[in-house]
Structure 1
């Protein structure tokens, strides 16, 4: 069914990330698919803010996030195919879609938080991924 699966998780939402990982891992195992896992760090903001920290700070944060995602995935995806880990930085939905296109994913598995007053049906990033992705998108709640 699917050959490459991109699982996009928010490590700050541990419960939601775990639900998405369980379903994404099961899907990868069932399909014998290659599994990619990503999390996206937000931009540093205004150029003034980003320049105050410098490029070495940004790289260190990405490296630490990569290591944290790798450790998290080894526990959350036990029994699933060995995942390829990706930690990127930028606009969340844009980075997920770009990575899915770059790795030629067949499906994106993304979690969505419970809706609040400002949201309708799914979280804003998940909704944008659904609307703009070239792949099928499985939204896990």
Structure 2
């Protein structure tokens, strides 16, 4: 059914992302798909903040995130399923959709936090991915 699945994880919320990864691994194993995993570092939001941090600090943050993602994936993803690790920075939902297109993903797997009043059915980023991605999107709670 699926050949390539993009799994979006939040390295700052691994207990939550862990069960989302379990679901993506199960899907990949059942369908014979390969997994790409993305972790998006939120953008600084304001140009003033980004210019204060500088390119060197931004690269250090991205490098640390890539190391953490690789260490986690080595433990969490069975050998032979993983096709790529991706760490990007920017608007979370936009980066997930862009990465899915870049790797030609058939499906995107995202997690959704328990709903708060402001985002009642799914989290704001998951909801935007669902609304805007041309691929199938599986939301795991």
In 2, the alpha carbon distance for the partners of 1:15 and 1:28 equals 20
> 1:34-53 residue pairs with structure 2 within 5 A?
34-53=34-53
Are 1:67 and 2:43 matched, yes or no?
Answer: no
Q: Report the secondary structure of 1:100's partner residue.
A: helix
User: Could you list the per-position Cα deviations for residues 78-106 of structure 1 after superposition, in whole angstroms to 9, with x for gaps in the alignment?
Assistant: 36613410000000000000110111100
Structure-1 residue corresponding to 2:103: 103
TM-score (norm 2): 0.95
- Bigger shift: residues 16-25 or 41-50: 41-50
Residues 28, 80 of structure 1: 8 Å contact kept: no
Structure 1 segments (4+ residues) deviating >2 Å:
none
Structure 1: unaligned runs, 5 residues or longer: none
Tell me by how many angstroms 1:19 deviates. Answer: 0.9
* Residue ranges of structure 2 left out of the alignment (5+ in a row): none
Q: Normalization by structure 1: what TM-score?
A: 0.95
Aligned-pair Cα RMSD in Å: 1.2
> How many residues are treated as equivalent by the alignment?
141
